[in-house]
């Protein structure tokens, strides 16, 4: 069995990572906080861990940032966001308390002046009467008018999900503003994000099915849609979370995305690269001190009316030596990188040809079937041993870009028109890629990843 430790994705040295939190640029550094259980590889404990970087390529693991050590967050420092206000970095998070089987949520705030020491300021927003205590994940943003808003995931007392909105004049004192959107299909909404791009607002959210009687989650995914946000009224033109959305990512492993604004105005996204259940987690991490990682940083933008995700330009620094393609007489192309970590880009022939890509002796594969207008990614399930697949519908596939790490792949289709992100259980000891269906004129580029070891980057 090959090692699963990632080489250029963010993951802690031990324990379990989940949601990215508090994404921000402050005092000349990028900050990525994350949900962390540093003790064991399960979800029984939550604090915030922290990475910092000058360029989103070279990262330093800073250890713990926020611990569950107050009466209002004693059972977990849950997810939240960050925002720079008056040259200080403020962190907003959900403090979780459970007593006698009853849950209580507090939307809390902490502040730092130097990015190292964090002062908790307590609860700044309590759960309004219309909701259950499944009320969490505050994302705070400031509009051009100077008004601050906090959007949170929520469950109404009807047992169905919603978003809740708070507003503030200074980002420090908050008042409840209302319910901008609801779902009648799902029991909960998690990890919302709301931000403007080119005159429209983009809404990210995670609809979740729950068994309300047992208080357990069943399934969830990340959704994205565009809305018009009426700042004065605190409302959306489309308040139905069950309609007019797309999946943010079409792969196996993508959840809880969060964005922030870079100094040059780009909207940057990170997400948790996992949707594993408990049995998958146990087997995947067996023999390793850690489990889970974040996606690569992506620029989120709107191009020709389409939502586009592309790897940030800083990642070009990771591209190392080129791997020459070996073109066979039957039209097959073989590429033999020195490691499982590589960058691969190729263009496709006309719309009528099937194309397939096989990775590492069949551990995973990518196929394009133009008649069905379908891209399919297939991998081997490490619990059952059977193959499983995810599909994405595209009118015409023109180009494919792949960033492969030791135990993951992020596949960008048509310049980021759609993305498929998945963890891969590494087994093959001889890495290789076989592409079928390309013409002799199609451009193919493969690069090894500089350094080849995550320790060089972190």
Distance of alpha carbon 129 from alpha carbon 294, whole angstroms: 35
| Contact criterion met (CB below 8 Å) for 358 and 24 | no
CB atoms within 10 A of CB 145: 7
Distance of alpha carbon 163 from alpha carbon 135, whole angstroms: 9
Strand 267-272 vs strand 255-261: parallel, antiparallel, or unpaired? Answer: antiparallel
CA angle (425 as vertex; 372, 34 as ends), nearest 5: 100
Longest distance between any two alpha carbons in the chain, whole Å: 70
Q: Which of 19, 73, 137, 249 is catalytic?
A: 19
| Contact criterion met (CB below 8 Å) for 235 and 178 | yes
Is 198 considered catalytic here? Answer: no
List of E strands, 38-76: 47-53, 60-66
| Closest to 17 measured CA to CA, from 5, 3, 29 | 5
| Contact criterion met (CB below 8 Å) for 186 and 132 | no
445 alpha carbon, distance to own chain's centre: 26
Which long-range contacts does 270-275 make (Cβ < 8 Å, 24+ apart)? 270/10, 270/20, 270/23, 270/32, 270/294, 270/295, 270/297, 270/298, 271/20, 271/222, 271/295, 271/421, 272/17, 272/18, 272/19, 272/20, 273/9, 273/408, 273/421, 273/423, 274/18, 274/423, 275/220, 275/221
Helices (H), 80-174: none
* Positions marked active-site: 19
């Amino acid at each position: 069995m090959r090692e699963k430790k990632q080489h250029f994705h963010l993951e802690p040295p031990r324990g379990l990572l989940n949601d990215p939190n508090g994404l921000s640029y402050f005092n000349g550094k990028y900050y990525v906080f994350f949900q962390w259980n540093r003790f064991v590889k399960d979800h029984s404990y939550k604090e915030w861990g922290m990475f910092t970087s000058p360029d989103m390529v070279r990262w330093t693991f800073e250890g713990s940032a926020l611990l569950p050590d107050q009466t209002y967050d004693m059972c977990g420092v849950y997810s939240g966001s960050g925002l720079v206000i008056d040259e200080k970095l403020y962190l907003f998070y959900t403090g979780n308390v459970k007593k006698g089987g009853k849950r209580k949520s507090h939307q809390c705030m902490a502040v730092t002046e130097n990015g190292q020491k964090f002062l908790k300021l307590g609860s700044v927003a309590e759960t309004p009467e219309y909701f259950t205590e499944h009320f969490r994940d505050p994302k705070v943003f400031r509009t051009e008018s100077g008004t601050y808003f906090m959007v949170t995931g929520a469950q109404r007392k009807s047992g169905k999900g919603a978003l809740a909105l708070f507003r503030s004049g200074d980002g420090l004192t908050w008042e409840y503003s209302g319910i901008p959107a609801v779902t009648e299909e799902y029991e909960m909404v998690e990890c919302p994000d709301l931000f403007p791009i080119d005159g429209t607002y983009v809404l990210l959210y995670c609809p979740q099915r729950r068994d309300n009687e047992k208080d357990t989650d069943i399934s969830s995914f990340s959704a994205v849609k565009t809305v018009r946000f009426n700042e004065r009224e605190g409302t959306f033109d489309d308040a139905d979370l069950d309609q007019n959305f797309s999946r943010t990512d079409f792969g196996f492993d993508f959840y809880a995305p969060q964005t922030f604004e870079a100094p040059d105005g780009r909207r940057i996204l990170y997400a948790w690269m996992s949707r594993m259940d408990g049995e998958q987690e146990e087997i995947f991490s067996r023999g390793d001190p850690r489990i889970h990682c974040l996606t690569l940083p992506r620029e989120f933008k709107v191009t020709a009316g389409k939502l586009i995700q592309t790897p940030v330009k800083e990642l070009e620094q990771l591209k190392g030596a080129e791997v020459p393609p070996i073109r066979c007489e039957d039209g097959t192309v073989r590429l033999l990188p020195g490691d499982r970590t590589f960058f691969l880009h190729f263009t496709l022939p006309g719309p009528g040809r099937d194309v397939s890509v096989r990775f590492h002796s069949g551990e995973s594969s990518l196929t394009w079937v133009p008649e069905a207008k379908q891209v399919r990614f297939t991998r081997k399930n490490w619990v059952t041993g059977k193959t499983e697949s995810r599909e994405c519908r595209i009118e015409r596939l023109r180009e494919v870009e792949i960033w492969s790490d030791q135990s993951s792949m992020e596949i960008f289709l048509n310049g980021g028109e759609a993305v498929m992100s998945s963890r891969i259980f590494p087994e093959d000891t001889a890495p290789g890629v076989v592409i079928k269906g390309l013409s002799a004129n199609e451009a193919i580029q493969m690069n090894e990843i500089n350094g080849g070891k995550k320790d060089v980057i972190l």
